Amino acid sequence: MAVLLIFIPLFASLLFLFIKGNIGKTVALAASVANLIFSIYLLTSFEAPSDDAFQFTFDQPWLESLGISFCGGLDGISLLMILLTNLLVPIIILSSFGKTPEYPAAFYGLIILMQAGLNGVFIATDGLLFYVFWEITLIPIWFICAYWGGENKVPVTIKFFIYTFAGSLFMLVGLIYLYLNTPGDHNFSWEALQMGARSLDAAGQQIVFWFIFLAFAVKIPIFPFHTWQPETYAVSPAPGTMLLSGIMLKMGIYGIIRWLLPFAPDLVSAGFNLPIVLCIIGVVYGGWIAIKQTDMKKIAAYSSLSHVGLIAAGIFTLTIDGLQGAVIQMVNHGINIVGLFLAIELIERRTGTRDLSKLGGIATKAPRLSVLFMIIVLGSLAVPLTNGFVGEFLLLKSIYSINIYMAAIAGLTVIFCAVYMLRLYNLAIFGDVTSYTVDIKDLNTRETILMGIIALLVIILGVYPQPIFDISKQAIETFQTTLTLK
């Protein structure tokens, strides 16, 4: 059944070959909502816990002579990523209704094609199929950013394409190396690749780890592979930025869990802390640079770099706390960062600027925007009873369990985030009205609903995050068994 999550948006994207004009946004919204409804149906049918590693599976030979199958399924971790993807895509599409893009049919068709690719990444259980969907997501997002982006979009998006495509090629080499070491008739299934990894010596696992790690480190991004990110987020149209930050970077974090750590079990379970160090450097670097920015989009971009570095660091601790914290924080970060970029887009659309030095006094002119924006900021700050708190607490606890000094440095994210987020909110929302904000209008009904949904999720998942733990618990325990941890 899970295969329909790929084919519903894929077939819908083909319709855009015959669609012109604004009807495209209606078709895109209908297709994305259909996927959301089906995702909710799968959630209600999901058995947690279950003895089966994957549910809703499908397996069809594709290139049988090469051991490549069109196969996939969902466990608790991938189901959460599917729910996040198919929840955010309709919100992203609806957010763009207030500003009709040039060639709307092409624009919305690319978003729906990307939705198909994203779902494929989280569903695939064949290594080569995973790689195919991984690359499929790059094509529409590059066109979205390169054509509908802002000033200096061409060189910035070319850099983004080169970085991510080159990283993907390294991953392909790593997967092929594993494939050649699978027992019996070679094949790309997740189980066979895992068995192949266990047959490798230390040097072989080092090769596999670094080749595959590079692709995920670029996508997340992890320091020092992050240099494409801030400018790409800044020049991309708002829907493109939301897709990149809210969903696409989760491909890399998810990839670490599913397609990296199980393929180097001896290496990563032997006190291998270098990836954690790189992640923590990114946490501090992203937070520090965010404090110095005046462009609201760049503040959110560097904030994202800092937050996802902490998520990745938690995964590499290989502890239950780190893994649970990473899974719930993937969901929460997706919600919060989309909310931030949505609020920034609404402000820019009304004022014509994202520069904090030109903003102020919005609270007196747009109270609904100010209140809902504040709730989303509090979630990003990880204030207790907001969605960011539980995951961040578990992530810092997991790092503390392996090294108190690394935990102390990673904990600086709490201070940095408070500084740059409250500074952003204070300069934009409070203070004196400026010439840019004097005529600003409050949220309309559609915008209030969108911001309200995100704000409501920030509160609900902060007050009662247990359902996410229940869904992912079995998958995380299976992951630990895969790495032969006690």
Contact partners, residue 155, CB within 8 Å, separation at least 6: none
pLDDT at 123: 95
Q: What is the pLDDT of residues 373-426, one digit of tens each?
A: 999 999 999 999 999 999 999 999 999 988 899 999 999 988 999 999 999 999
With beta carbons less than 8 A apart as the criterion, state whether 312 and 256 touch: yes
Residue 283 in tokens: 């946490």
Tell me: pLDDT of 485 over 50.
no
Task: Average the pLDDT over 454-475 and give the result.
Answer: 93
Question: Is the pLDDT at 111 greater than 80, yes or no?
Answer: yes
Q: Assess if residue 383 is contained within a domain.
A: yes
Mean pLDDT throughout 347-365? 90
17 within domain boundaries: no
> In the predicted model, is pLDDT for residue 429 greater than 50?
yes
Q: Residue 99 — very low, low, confident or very high, per pLDDT cuts 50/70/90?
A: confident
- Burial (CB count <10 Å: 0-12, 13-18, 19+), residue 352: exposed
Q: What average pLDDT does the chain have?
A: 90
Average pLDDT, integer, range 53-70? 85
Q: Are 48 and 75 in contact (CB under 8 A)?
A: no
Instruction: Write down the pLDDT at residue 439.
Output: 87
Domain boundaries, position 295: 269-486
- Return d(Cα 154, Cα 151) in angstroms, integer: 8
pLDDT, average across residues 302-321: 92
- Amino acid, res. 352: G
**Is 25 inside any structural domain?**
no
Average pLDDT over residues 329-353: 93
pLDDT value of position 20: 81
**What is the residue type of 389?**
F
Model confidence at 486: pLDDT above 50:
no
Contact by Cβ (8 Å): 318, 401: no
Report how many domains make up the chain: 1
With pLDDT > 70 as the criterion, what percentage of the chain qualifies? 98
The secondary structure of the chain, three-state, reads CCCHHHHHHHHHHHHCCCCCCCHHHHHHHHHHHHHHHHHHHHHHHCCCCCCCCCEEEEEEEEEHHHCEEEEEEECHHHHHHHHHHHHHHHHHHHHHHHCCCCCHHHHHHHHHHHHHHHHHHHHECEHHHHHHHHHHHHHHHHHHHHHHCCCCHHHHHHHHHHHHHHHHHHHHHHHHHHHCCCCCCCCCEHHHHHHHHHCCCHHHHHHHHHHHHHHHHHHCCCCCCCCCHHHHHHHCCHHHHHHHHHHHHHHHHHHHHHHHHHHCHHHHCCCCCHHHHHHHHHHHHHHHHHHCCCEHHHHHHHHHHHHHHHHHHHHHCCCHHHHHHHHHHHHHHHHHHHHHHHHHHHHHHHHCCCEHHHCCCHHHHCHHHHHHHHHHHHHHCCCCCCHHHHHHHHHHHHHHHHCHHHHHHHCHHHHHHHHHHHHHHHHHHCCCCCCCCCCCCCCCHHHHHHHHHHHHHHHHHHHCCHHHHHHHHHHHHHHHHHCCCC
For residues 116 and 28, is the Cβ–Cβ distance under 8 A?
A: no
Residue 49, pLDDT > 80, answer no
Which pLDDT value is given to residue 52? 62
Q: Please tell me the least confidently modeled range out of 200-209, 261-270, 422-431.
A: 261-270
Is residue 267's pLDDT more than 90? no
Rounded-to-integer distance, Cα 203 and Cα 263, Å: 13
Give the model's pLDDT for residue 451. Answer: 95
pLDDT for residue 484 is more than 70: no
The reply to whether 50 falls in a domain is no
pLDDT at 227 exceeding the cut of 90: no
In a domain, 257, yes or no: no
Q: Tell me the two tokens of residue 146.
A: 């390169």
- Gyration radius of the chain's alpha carbons: 21
In this prediction, residues 444-463 reach a mean pLDDT of 95
Cα gap 415→284, rounded to integer Å: 10
Confidence (pTM)? 0.93
Residue 122 has pLDDT above 70, yes or no: yes
> Between these two residues, 153 and 485, which has the higher pLDDT value?
153
Is the residue at 11 inside a domain? no
In a domain? residue 173: no
What average pLDDT does this structure show over 4-8?
A: 92
pLDDT of 50 > 70? The answer is: no
For 230-253, what is each residue's pLDDT tens digit? 888 888 899 999 999 999 999 999
In a domain, 202, yes or no: no
Which pLDDT value is given to residue 480?
A: 77
Q: Please determine, for residue 177, whether its predicted confidence score (pLDDT) is greater than 60.
A: yes
Between CA 274 and CA 294 the distance in angstroms is 33
